[in-house]
Amino acid sequence: MNNWDKLDKVREWLQTAGLVAIPFLVAIMGNRVAKSNATRETNAVYVQTAVGILGAPLTNANRSLRPWATQMLVHFSPVPFTDTAEASLARFPLVLAPSLALPVDVSRPAQLLISPKSVTIGPTQAMDFVAFALTAAGDTARVSDLTWTASGGRISDTSTRGGRHYAQFVAPTATGAFVVVAGSASARLADTARVTVQIQAR
């Protein structure tokens, strides 16, 4: 057997060994990655538990757990704790900053109201309505696109003053129950009033 034959045999052996070894290596590496992920998740649970213990008010029930919780944070912290910080964690409640809330537009309309809410009038009689928007704090809010509609009769916008929108409803000749609606598309708000049209007793 010459040297070339020997090299071919070695190459075939290495290829066969590689084909057999690759699945084992992949399985071993996959197992290590899975263990690493499981360890990371377990560590996160330990840290979360420790923060919960340290953030709770100091009581006799949790006093003995505080040193353990402190050691958990010290162990998993990427930044070393000073001795003073470590001692303070064990002795005093951990105060966490509240999550930052998005700014709220306090002038935004939160509610739209119409008045009166329910009236009874005769056929072809008129009734005045007013609608206004309020902020979450209860202040009058400006609504630029308020519209009036009615399920019967006719309604017309008469004026707007100081955030109050006025309209006049004129009943139809027919009797029945009708709805007046004040709405704002931009504020996504609306309110309704009920109008009963009936023959008035004399």
Report d(CA 129, CA 114) in Å as an integer: 7
Q: Is the pLDDT of residue 59 over 80?
A: no
Q: Are 133 and 186 in contact (CB under 8 A)?
A: no
Q: What pLDDT, on a 0 to 100 scale, did the predictor assign at position 170?
A: 96
- Chain-centroid distance, C-alpha 160: 35
Report d(CA 86, CA 80) in Å as an integer: 10
Q: Is the pLDDT of residue 159 over 80?
A: yes
Report d(CA 124, CA 148) in Å as an integer: 18
**Model confidence over 33-51: pLDDT tens digits?**
556 555 666 677 777 777 7
Instruction: Quote the tokens at residue 56.
Output: 């709770």
- Which letter does DSSP use for residue 110 in this model? -
pTM here is 0.50
Q: Does domain 111-197 have CATH number 3.30.360.10?
A: no
Distances (CA, A) of 121 to 38, 64, 198: 73, 75, 6
**Model confidence over 88-141: pLDDT tens digits?**
666 666 666 555 555 666 778 999 999 999 999 999 999 999 999 999 888 899
**Mean of pLDDT over the chain:** 79
Kindly list the domain boundaries of the chain, sorted by start residue: 3-91, 111-197
